[in-house]
A and B are shown apart, each in its own frame.
Chain A
């Protein structure tokens, strides 16, 4: 049987889901060609907001990449816009040529609406729709002086503003209505939301009418409001709404209203053309959220496979993806005849809940500040449950309704068609099916059903369904918290420190509800490190949150004495330095002098009181602390390289010295060791270091994630580069990525194993802008921390002496 030809226009969220269903259900029936105006495959568009705020990377939100399509035999024409559909000839014409179809699916999404204000075509006026827009915003955040104005205080505008703010940008939101998100929220909830955003440092102007966009040399300069106010800006984001993208359909003569008309089977007015997603109009409605689009995608795939299915519109709910603003809205909540309100307010906690009731049914709900029970309320709306029996306690949520306080019981009692994952429209029955078919972990359930794969807020619910279905076979993953002082994991805390801008230990204890007044020996060093890594300019290091070695800048030995190691850049020393070390050994009665594994000299057995003096002496001879004690850069081991060795291809010693001078003093989640070898004979043993560089004829092989301690690991290749400068850049960017992302006390190799080398490569090898940004942040931090702690402590010698000596008095 020859395959039928299917052409798809648009590689967005709707078409991605449809092709998934289709290639699963009828893998060999179709010969598919996919056009996409964006130069890439499908990504989870709703996660652009976390990408903007820095909580996720682009790589994490890709759902179908070129490899996926290739695997399914789909011919991809990315970066090619379709310009015409010829229905009579049954062909589609793209910018690079024409293809014939038996069936065509239009999934062209929508276009952001641009208010035609004077100046709307200036450079720097953008929408918020795709990766390009997102990157434009991320770029502007690189300029610390930048100002951004966002027109539109709806979901999208606020997510843009919050994301920019998290990146430190000065943002103003201009909104025409009297309160924010007026289509989803009532005034009271809008007020609370506004207050929360203002607290984050976002300026909000409601009831503000834009008049003109002012420019200079073709670039945006300011927004002028009706009342004469001028808001200066370097970028203006318009997020005022979307219009279904129907131009192609209209030109080809399909029936189009506000969107492309489709019936319940997603078929347009032409029996061979289907349409799905934001570009369609079904029964008078158009769509702007993914849940119904995914339903449409499923129906369209079934229609193509000749199976009966109908699209039914369902109630929709919205959440705002702004960390720290818990907000939920569903259904209808405008005042009206016969409608009653139940309102709960707790201004002190910033909690507001409102239910709209009509004929004993909940028809609308708005929650702000506490949305834990929102899915239960949403169920009441969707199922039109009669609530007359529980009306009195309704607002307090499911736990107040009779005996079923056990969440497990509640989940067990849910009917199979209860929706668990809103983003992906996955119901309980589908999850149970996947489990019965053998999925035993969250990852497997996610892979098979997509449940909790998007915004992730339903992860807990999915786990509960798994627990109920699998019984004892399922281990609820108790994500290990840092220590007994908190239930949060390292990853949670890192994220929250960034997103809530917590800049002191006290802020962490208070905001994240620590159970102890000031942590313990496990969490304090971690928190101290996170604050230092994320806020190098604002946070001051706390010596009392450091392990003794770091506090005293020397290694404590089992007898309470210390060992002192001066830095020897790249393993090179001089006669003068050696003399100074020998003199110090004599003067302070150092019992043992040892050459370390990292090519340095260790003076073992120094008394604590003598530390400041020996440091002073070594400083005088030009030496600084070797940080042999620190969670930071330790050594850069080198071989002699081409200056002396007959095999050496490059100056490995010189590169080692450069790297050490650049990286020293930086604090990292765990110790960091480097090695540079002049040729693949690898005399510096570079391939078992956190970063190992092996010089070759054509340049430098930079590899990472090695270890030679409790675990022995060979490094993996990060990249090959031609110049020394690039080798240094890759190394620096890798270390900064590690500093910003790893959990405290995870060595580089453990962290890379968790995040995946591919991700690391994307961040520091492929994405040049990101590499540069990482290096810039590293430099910023180093401007504070590339200092010799010995020099600073040598002048506080009294701190190393006893507070008092009572040996004489007690002897009296």
Chain B
């Protein structure tokens, strides 16, 4: 694994999200608690809604376009909807956000 420092947790508002640009597209970092962040694809599998703009509640995000809800832990759509978003390993070290570059690269291979 190659951990890449992408910023400080305080750069993301509580219950907000920020984007990280990668060659394959945008990864969203979701801050669900004071010390809790998740990384997942920014793109909703339904019609491509920007998940980073959704409302974040518990450990879930609601897509802003048509209200699909995704678990940020598993990436699975909740409730009756069928769908999945890619999630990525993310480490929090002394407030720094570390994304796994290897996992991001794998995505392009897949």
Residues of A within 8 A of B (CB): 516-521, 524-525, 543-548, 551-552, 556, 558, 560, 802-807, 809-811
Contacts and interface: CB of A to CB of B under 8 A. Distances in A.
Contacts of B105: 810
A521 B50 contact: no
B57 A807 contact: no
17 contacts: A517-B58, A518-B58, A520-B60, A520-B62, A521-B57, A524-B57, A543-B13, A544-B13, A548-B54, A551-B53, A556-B50, A560-B48, A802-B26, A803-B12, A805-B21, A806-B22, A810-B108
Nearest to A485: B57
A807 B13 contact: no
Given A516-B57, A802-B19, A806-B6, 14 more contacts: A519-B57, A521-B55, A521-B57, A525-B55, A548-B54, A556-B53, A556-B65, A560-B50, A803-B12, A803-B18, A803-B20, A803-B29, A803-B97, A804-B21
A548 B53 contact: yes
A807 B22 contact: yes
Contacts of A558: 47, 65
Contact of B55 (A545, A803, A804): A545
A544 B14 contact: yes
Which of B4, B55, B58 counts the most A-chain CB atoms under 10 A from its CB?
A: B55
Contacts of A521: 54-55, 57, 62, 67, 69
Contacts of A517: 57-58
A803 B6 contact: yes
Contacts of B21: 802, 804-807
A802 B47 CA distance: 22
A517 B49 CA distance: 25
Contacts, number: 93
A810 B57 contact: no
Contacts of A516: 57-58
Interface of B: 4, 6-7, 11-16, 18-24, 26, 29, 47-50, 53-58, 60, 62, 64-65, 67, 69, 97, 99, 101, 104-105, 108
B11 A809 contact: no
Contacts of A806: 4, 6, 20-23, 99, 101, 104
Contacts of B4: 806, 809
Contacts of A525: 55
B92 to A, nearest CB: 14
B101 to A, nearest CB: 7
A544 B12 contact: no
A517 B56 CA distance: 11
A547 B18 CA distance: 16
A802 B67 CA distance: 23
A518 to B, nearest CB: 6
A731 B50 CA distance: 38
A805 B6 CA distance: 8
Contacts of A519: 57
B57 A518 contact: yes
Contacts of B65: 556, 558
Identify the 6 closest CB pairs spanning chains A and B, nearest first: A521-B62, A803-B18, A521-B55, A804-B6, A548-B53, A544-B15
Contacts of B47: 558
B104 A810 contact: yes
A235 to B, nearest CB: 44
A547 B7 contact: no
Nearest to A544: B15
Given A516-B57, A519-B57, A810-B22, A544 B16 contact: yes
A811 B108 CA distance: 11
Nearest to A552: B53
Nearest to A549: B64
B53 to A, nearest CB: 4
A171 B105 CA distance: 67
Contacts of B7: 803-804
Contacts of B22: 806-807, 810
Nearest to A811: B23
A548 B29 CA distance: 16
A608 to B, nearest CB: 8
A803 B22 CA distance: 11
B55 to A, nearest CB: 4
B43 to A, nearest CB: 9
B22 to A, nearest CB: 5
A545 B15 CA distance: 8
Contact of A804 (B20, B50, B62, B69): B20
A807 B53 contact: no
B56 A544 contact: yes
Q: Which of A543, A544, A558, A804 counts the most chain B CB atoms within 10 A?
A: A804
B52 to A, nearest CB: 9
Nearest to B7: A803
Contacts of A809: 4, 101
B47 to A, nearest CB: 8
Nearest to B2: A809
A810 B4 CA distance: 10
Nearest to B64: A548
A143 B12 CA distance: 42
A544 B55 contact: yes
A46 to B, nearest CB: 42
A519 B55 CA distance: 10
A802 B55 contact: no
B31 to A, nearest CB: 9
Contacts of B12: 803
A803 B19 contact: yes
Contacts of A807: 21-23
